[in-house]
Amino acid sequence: MLTGDINLDGQVSVSDAVLLQKYLIKSGKLSADQADRADLNQDGVLNAYDLVLLKQTIQNK
């Protein structure tokens, strides 16, 4: 499992951040596997902090 790879394409990219952002504003849905990958801080809750961590991960590539 690649943490942050929300769209399951094998890489962590802006597309993953877009999916998480849509989920957070209640404009999209995630499967259980996608939600697991989106929980970057592994606290069991998807929130803006996970989005920040995902964006930092993308920026540091």
**Domain contains 26:** yes
- Count of structural domains within the chain: 1
The answer to whether position 48 is within a domain reads yes
Domain range for residue 18? Answer: 14-59
Q: What is the pLDDT of residue 59?
A: 96
Q: Is residue 9 part of a domain?
A: no
* Residue 6 placed within a domain: no
Return the C-alpha torsion angle 31, 34, 39, 45, nearest 10.
-10
Residue 10 has pLDDT above 90, yes or no: yes
Averaged confidence pLDDT in the chain: 97
- On whether residue 52 sits in a domain, the answer given is yes
| Averaged pLDDT for residues 51-57 | 98
Q: Are 31 and 1 in contact (CB under 8 A)?
A: no
Query: How distant, in Å, are the alpha carbons of 20, 28, 45 from that of 5?
Result: 10, 16, 17
Tens-digit pLDDT profile for residues 19-42: 999 999 999 999 999 999 999 999
50 assigned to some structural domain: yes
C-alpha pair distances (Å), 11 with each of 22, 25, 26: 19, 23, 24
The reply to whether 28 falls in a domain is yes
The amino acid present at 47, given as its one-letter code, is N
